[in-house]
Amino acid sequence: VRMLGELDIEQREIERLEAVASSGSVARKTLIEREYARDKIQASLVVQREALRLHGLSAEQVRAIETQRRLLTELKLYSPSADGTSRSELNLSQQVHLDAVLPTAFLSNSGTTPMILRELHVHRGQAVNAGEPLATLVDYSQLYVEGMAFEQDLAALTQAVQSGWTVKAVFDETNSRRSVVSDLEIAYVDSEVDSASRTVKFFVRLPNDLLPAAGDRRDERFINWRYRPGQRIQLQIPAEVWEDEIVLPVDAVASEGVEFFIFQQNGDHFDRVSVHVKYRDQSSVVIANDGQVFPGDVVAMKAAHQMQMAIKNKSGGAVDPHAGHNH
């Protein structure tokens, strides 16, 4: 604005000198000096116009400053496109005509999974440089479970990976309840053994699910995932495979000394059947498919120990192997 005023003064002075220079009252050199000063001001104005455009003003806004001789009291700036949009489409000066498009950052997300804002690195009104991170977004739709295996278990872990055996993840819940997620894939096994703990890290892929909103709430600003980073999980990795054997829950098998029994339905009661247990852990029992029980037979899937104790109390001593239990 100051240069525009100086340009007007120089232009009026040049016009006055031109009127009197023809009569010889003013030396021609004085007129040339004024014209040279005018040209310098015009060159500086060109530089100032480009500087204003680099700061986000449009050509129309620059012309308005020149004609009205008033500076802008407010200027809205918008981040330029990073997805290949042409410069003219998102020119900072044209955003007044694009009120529906107010981009502040661009995110390439091919899927429909919502992301969570974990950390905001800038604050409102802060000036940022090109390439500077604005925020940290996380996608919890696919998690990796970090497991640790001892050195002596490394052979079994390698066998499971090479054989393509799947893994079970056990989550402890309230009231001693447990939920199990099956058919998980081992992503990879670490190449180094921790010198302090003497363990090897391995990682299992865990697909995650969004939990439904409570009641009629549909606030998309807040989402809730079923599994969360930091949860403690037990991983069950198969070490051996038995073909054509029978697997039952651990509560379906009762023990009496070195013998094991299940309770098979026979009409309106259950018969106690002796079985050969080949493997037993916290949740499952593998029994031999030796003809004592066949796939498809109906057996009591829980409370086998209580049924065993009921038979023992009823008989008043040792349990008759052929005794039945009405249920």
pTM of the predicted model, to two decimals? 0.53
In CATH terms, the fold of domain 246-326 is 2.40.420
Contacts of 13 (CB under 8 A, 6+ apart): 34
**For strand 277-280 and strand 234-236, is the pairing parallel, antiparallel, or unpaired?**
unpaired
Q: Locate the domains of the chain by residue range.
A: 2-68, 142-236, 246-326
pLDDT for position 85: 47
Laid out side by side, the sheet with 142-150 consists of 142-150, 199-207, 186-193
Rounded to an integer, what distance in angstroms lies between the CA atom of residue 152 and that of residue 198? 10
Residue 23, token pair as written in the block: 């009569």
Residue 229, token pair as written in the block: 């980073």
pLDDT for position 217: 60
- At residue 319, φ and ψ (nearest 5 deg) are -85, 130
Rounded to an integer, what distance in angstroms lies between the CA atom of residue 16 and that of residue 184? 91
| Whether domain 142-236 has CATH 1.10.10 | no
The answer to whether residues 81 and 104 touch, using CB atoms and an 8 Å cutoff, is no
- At residue 223, φ and ψ (nearest 5 deg) are -130, 160
Render each residue's pLDDT in the chain as its tens digit; 327 residues.
788 888 888 888 878 887 777 766 777 778 788 888 888 888 888 888 888 887 778 888 888 888 888 877 777 666 555 544 444 444 544 444 444 444 555 555 555 678 888 899 998 878 888 889 999 999 899 999 999 999 899 999 999 999 999 999 998 877 777 888 999 999 999 999 999 999 999 999 999 998 887 666 666 677 888 999 999 999 988 888 878 888 888 889 998 888 899 888 888 888 888 999 988 887 888 988 888 888 888 888 888 888 888 888 876 655 554 444 444
Rounded to an integer, what distance in angstroms lies between the CA atom of residue 289 and that of residue 180? 26
Contacts of 97 (CB under 8 A, 6+ apart): none
For residue 326, what are the CA distances in angstroms to 249, 259, 263, 300, 308?
21, 22, 11, 12, 12
Rounded to an integer, what distance in angstroms lies between the CA atom of residue 283 and that of residue 246? 14
pLDDT for position 106: 52
Q: What beta strand segments (E) does 135-231 contain?
A: 135-138, 142-150, 167-172, 178-184, 186-193, 199-207
pLDDT for position 59: 83
Contacts of 221 (CB under 8 A, 6+ apart): none
Contacts of 268 (CB under 8 A, 6+ apart): 326
Give CA torsion, residues 111, 112, 115, 121, to 10 deg.
60
Containing 62, the helix (H) or strand (E) segment is helix 59-68
